[in-house]
Amino acid sequence: MTPPEILTDSPSGHARAAAILRQGGLVALPTETVYGLAADATDDAAVASIYAAKGRPGHNPLIVHVPDLATAERLAAFPDPARALADAFWPGPLTLVLPLKPGHGLSPRVTAGLPTVALRLPAHPAMQAVLRETGRPLAAPSANPSGRITATTPAHVLAGLGPRIAAIVDAGPCRVGVESTILAPAPSGTRLLRDGGLAREMIEEITGPLIADTTPGATLEAPGQMSSHYAPHAPLLLGGTPQPGEITIGFGTTPGDLTLSPSGDLAEAARTLFSCLHTADALATARAAPAIRVALIPETGLGRAINDRLRRAAAPRD
Ligand code: AMP
Ligand code: MG
């Protein structure tokens, strides 16, 4: 099998990525949150190949990325307070689950047959350039095998998906480092489906108190919220006293073999989270370590998204 083309973050790299996407191919693209595994969201076969490459269950719908608000408004309705949220936080790490409009043209696989679609307008210039050049909405879940550690660098993408994809646009590590926050806006109250790169506190300034709906595995509406996810090969433990032989990941004053942020900065911890987990997992395998143990992270701001990922990484496997 052929390894993916490594494309530069340049007009010629973006043009090549767009050409592959328009022919129904899979391209890993940088976003400000994590690397996305992109395909033309209107092409049923291309969308099916995302699920196949990731080994992702077909009932777990994909986020659709758009270049601008006008495209988003052609695809979906914006019940209050969706427009205010889009105005405040797009482009950025926020996904809105919205009712599909008739004639949307998206592959039904993208939404796993739901009457709603998850839309995002990403802030990364490379992703924006490829979206404009392709001229199609792009379905893009994280560019890693389903259930494994999220990819935030081209090396993670290559190690996880390798020859299953046609190309990778290399724009270095992602700035935010955790996936987008997912909201379902409604006049009766906005539900929080997943904590992510946009902190709850900022959203609540616009929406008032959010209705938390993020319990792992609890809802049918967000079937992607499975309990075991982001899993390293070694067992992951949260807090507690390190035992001999474990690989430790520190934070702030809690030391470790690795650290999420020596200064205890949550934005830095979000940015380094998945790279630390990838590195810790490789170390654990090399040293036959019994476990990876991570320091406790405050449950505030981006700490909520970090803790959500860590709890799922630590959850019992199916
Ligand atoms: P991922 O692409 O793995 O970052 O996950 C996308 C997340 O968005 C999953 O948790 C999905 O369940 C959720 N999602 C996507 N589309 C919808 C939708 N129409 N309704 C509710 N949740 C959705
Ligand atoms: Mg993912």
Q: Which of 32, 37, 97, 180 to mutate to test the pocket of ligand 1 (most atoms within 8 A of CB)?
A: 97
What is the whole-number distance in angstroms between the Cα of residue 144 and the centre of ligand 2? Answer: 7
Using the predicted structure, report yes or no on whether residue 316 has a pLDDT greater than 80: yes
Cβ(114) – ligand 1 distance below 6 Å: yes
Cβ(61) – ligand 1 distance below 6 Å: yes
| Integer Cα distance of 102 and 97 in angstroms | 16
User: Which protein residue's CA is at the shortest distance from atom 1 of ligand 1?
Assistant: 141
H or E stretch covering 119 = strand 116-120
Domains of the chain: 5-212 (3.90.870.10), 236-314 (3.40.50)
Using the predicted structure, report yes or no on whether residue 161 has a pLDDT greater than 60: yes
Please list all protein residues whose beta carbon sits less than 5 angstroms from ligand 2, which is an ion: 142
Q: Is the dihedral of CA 236, 241, 247, 252 positive or negative?
A: positive
| Integer Cα distance of 270 and 161 in angstroms | 23
In the chain, the amino acid numbered 8 is T
pLDDT for 225 equals 54
| Integer Cα distance of 174 and 35 in angstroms | 7
Query: Which region among 164-168, 219-223, 271-275 has the lowest average model confidence (pLDDT)?
Result: 219-223
Query: Prior bond to 91 cis, omega within 30?
Result: yes
For residue 180, say whether it is annotated as part of any ligand binding site. Answer: yes
Tell me the pLDDT of the chain averaged across its residues. Answer: 95
Ligand 1, atom nearest to 116 Cα: 19
User: Which protein residue's CA is at the shortest distance from atom 2 of ligand 1?
Assistant: 141
The tens digit of pLDDT for each residue in 9-53 reads 999 999 999 999 999 999 999 999 999 999 999 999 999 999 999
**Relative to the alpha carbon of 182, which ligand is closest?**
1
DSSP state of 164: G
| Integer Cα distance of 193 and 210 in angstroms | 10
- Exposed, middle or buried by CB within 10 Å (0-12, 13-18, 19+), for 164? middle
The token pair at 51 is: 């699920």
What is the whole-number distance in angstroms between the Cα of residue 243 and the centre of ligand 2? Answer: 30
Task: Quickly state the pLDDT bin for 226 (edges 50, 70, 90).
Answer: low
The tens digit of pLDDT for each residue in 78-127 reads 999 999 999 999 999 999 999 999 999 999 999 999 999 999 999 999 99
Q: What percentage of the chain's residues is helix, strand, coil (to nearest 5)?
A: 30, 20, 50
Phi, psi of 254 (to 5 degrees): -80, 115
